[in-house]
A and B are shown apart, each in its own frame.
Chain A
Amino acid sequence: MTDSPLSAPTARRRLARGSGGDRPFEAVVALAALTVLVVLTAAGVSMFLGGEPAFKAFGLKFFVSTDWDAVNKQFGALIPIYGTLVTAAISLLVGVPASFGIAFTLTETAPRWLRQPLMVAVELLASIPSIIYGMWGLFVFAPFMAAHVEPWLNDHFANTPLLSDLLTGPPIGIGMLTAGMILGVMIIPFISSVMWSVFTAVPAHLKESAVALGATRTEVMFKVILPYTRNAVVGAIFLGLGRALGETMAVTFVLGNAHDFAKSLLMPGNSIAAVIANEFTEADSDLYRSSLIALGFVLFIVTFLVLAAARLLLARLQRIEGAKV
């Protein structure tokens, strides 16, 4: 067929379509792009299937029970879920103000020559592998907390209502407070870089108008920049939250892998990621393993929702301003 001379319409059609290699090439790249979708979907489905026996065996009790008893095969996830939420909350308390401070300094007050080195330093913090955070936490930071911070907390908050339950306890260093603080430092680069990049995307004429009216730099930030970038700032915080919820190695070292409920933040606790990391290879029954995978499924869904919300909040500003986030 290729030997016969092409009729004019066929030749035109073929020219429009491109040469023979185009269709296969497009099919191959489309297939590659599809892999991204397949990976995420398959991960969700396989975790659900793996966790199904545990969900079936325990039902809703899986989420509200504090039993974690490998011998009697009773598994309830409340302690790890609680620990995940508490450490993530502490990390936001540490990470969000620090990130905002860095972003404010970088966009408004730092001299120009200092900006580049500061950004590199923050990036450096992001590139340190989480296992090093964990190891440093175990050998350096936990002893520091035990020797200096926790005795101080015990001395000063013993009689404060509400806080005394949370902030006093045995000063052993290993615990939810220590883990939350390390997580807080870990998420600073993620939150601050996004904040910084959306702050710089605010149109200059808005800021200049405010300055012309006599606003201070702080007032420009709180009354012009923040209202303008509110969605993206919340998105940045959600991005950090997603990281904090799923972080494994940094917290596994310093949480203590405890399965008892403790009101005090100074007491050892657990988190979803840490319990999986600690116990999965030792899980000796199918139900045990399935319970851990079920926990993984819960973590997967929660971080998926948080990250999806973050991306949607960020996408809006990105579309308007072309901010690089």
Chain B
Amino acid sequence: MALNVATLASRMLGAALPILKKDARDAESFAKLEFTKIAQTIVAIGEQVVSGQINEQQAGLLLAMQTSASRNVFLTLQGLALLAVEAAINAALNVVRSAVNTALGFALIA
């Protein structure tokens, strides 16, 4: 049996794409939740300065803490993206394993 590049590519894409889409949705909902919390706190810090509950120096330090929190959200998104790509590649190889191995007559992909 000859291997057809277009068929293999289509099957690989079919296996990888749902994983990428699902993981992108999960990452989006996580980012939305966490960035909303950060945005609410930044607004609150501004209001607290205006109302005199905290001074400008304290506000600056509290804002620095929010910046570190944002960095950590971005780093999690970076890690989740790596995991998604990893899963998509493994799924793509998995779905063509049998066809490739049968056509070649040996286990190229195990």
Bound pair (A, B): no
